[in-house]
Amino acid sequence: MLLEILWYSLFAGVTVLIGGVLANAFNHHAEESPVKYEITHTMMAFGGGIILSAVGLVLVPKGLELLTLWPMILCFVAGAVLFFLIDRWLAKKGGQMATLLAMLMDFIPESIALGSIFATDKSTGTLLAVFIGLQNLPEAFNSFRDMVLSGFSVKKTLVIFSFLSFSGVIGALLGYFFLSEYPDVTACLMVFASGGILYLIFQDIAPASKMKESFVPSLGATAGFLVGMIGEKVI
């Protein structure tokens, strides 16, 4: 069981690094053109759609199922306020890392949930790992661009993504060993993450993905949410 958790959580996390490598190749080898610009914005919207689906189909439903009203409200508001403060701090420093923050807010709670679920339901845990991996790919693709624009070098960004890839393993092990018997704690973490993610989507990710005279990014966001619906239906 433990070895399986390690392998599946590693698969779910390694797509962070893969997304960064693909983004680097795309940025350096694809010629500058309106099409490249449109693809970049569509990927941003696609990732936003997947993150939104994680909130609507995974994170919030878990909170509604296990938490009473006031703990749910407090966790959700705390997540939104904390990432509002972080976002303001980054804005003052000229940072553009909203997609990275949203990815972490999504990836880490779901990794913890993955470890918790594996303890009681192996098949659901397996499918959840696949779902997380699919989410991380476009999110990492967009985060790479944000971090490079914020002043990080390509090498440093890829090193950070390598460490993030393994953070999912740590989260899954924490969930398996410490939270499998405390589902309410996992639910609080998920609702907290939901508040922060929704703030980042509407403050940073969605506005940045919009293009004048192009409707393709909006279709990308819709497709991203559809991916989440398919993953939730399969799970």
CB atoms near residue 203 (< 10 Å): 16
Chain centre to alpha carbon of residue 183: 21
Other CB atoms within 10 Å distance of the CB of residue 207: 10
What pLDDT is recorded for position 39? Answer: 77
Q: Is the pTM of this model over 0.85?
A: no
Residue 47: half-sphere exposure toward Cβ, Cα within 13 Å: 34
Q: Which phi-psi region, left, alpha or beta, contains residue 68 (left: φ > 0; alpha: ψ -120 to 50)?
A: beta
Q: Are 20 and 142 in contact (CB under 8 A)?
A: no
Per residue in 117-175, pLDDT (tens digit) is 787 777 767 777 877 787 788 878 878 877 887 778 889 889 989 988 888 899 899 88
**Number of residues assigned to the chain:** 235
C-alpha 226/C-alpha 203 separation (Å) is 22
pLDDT digits (tens, 9 = 90+) for 79-128: 899 888 887 877 776 655 666 776 777 688 878 888 887 877 777 677 77
